[in-house]
Copies of this chain bind each other. A is one copy, B any other.
Amino acid sequence: MDYDKLAKMSSLVPFPAYLGFEVKRSDRDCVVVEIVLRPEYCTMGGTAHGGFLMALADFTGAIGAMEVLPEGATSTTTVESKTNMIGAAPAGALMRATATPLHIGRRTSVWTTRIETDAGKLISVTTQTQMVI
């Protein structure tokens, strides 16, 4: 995928653009979004806030859902999202969210998103259902 398309995706949705999420790869099989963890995205101990992780995962899975929309569909919305928090990521770390599809259907798609640090430490795992609109 070309750089311009990825840059456009990164700026498309206000909240993810506001936080600075960058789409690094996007196709039907896999979406990768990265961001350096700023101190203001942390919880008290200086590690990634759970809400930040869920926002990052939600955007990554939704980009995936856009990639697999069936013909005639124009958009997608998150129906539900479940996250297990696994490890702590320190401020300054490069965070990488990787979404892969569990299901690509006519009415929904289901995505699992793993967030890891650049060092490969698993931070959280999210599974979400996206409705086709």
Q: Per-residue CB proximity of A50-71 to B under 8 Å, as 1/0? A: 1110111111001000000000
Residue contact B18 to A84, C-beta cutoff 8 Å: no
Q: Which positions 6-48 of chain A face chain B at CB distance < 8 Å?
A: 12-18, 39-44
Q: How many copies does the complex hold?
A: 4
CB distance from A27 to the nearest CB of B (A): 20
Could you tell me the distance between the alpha carbons of A41 and B77 in the complex, rounded to whole angstroms? 16
Q: Is the CB–CB distance between B85 and A107 below 8 Å?
A: no
Tell me whether A81 and B83 are in contact in the complex, defined as CB-CB below 8 angstroms, given that A49-B55, A59-B51 are known contacts: yes
Cβ-closest chain B residue relative to A39? B14
Residue of B57, B87, B127 touching A125 (CB-CB under 8 A): B127
Secondary structure at chain A's binding surface: helix, strand, loop or mixed?
A: mixed
Q: Are A82 and B81 in contact (CB under 8 A)?
A: yes
Given A13-B43, A15-B41, A54-B83, 17 other A-B contacts at CB below 8 A? Answer: A14-B40, A16-B51, A44-B75, A50-B62, A50-B81, A51-B56, A51-B59, A52-B55, A54-B81, A80-B82, A81-B83, A82-B83, A84-B102, A84-B110, A86-B102, A107-B131, A125-B127
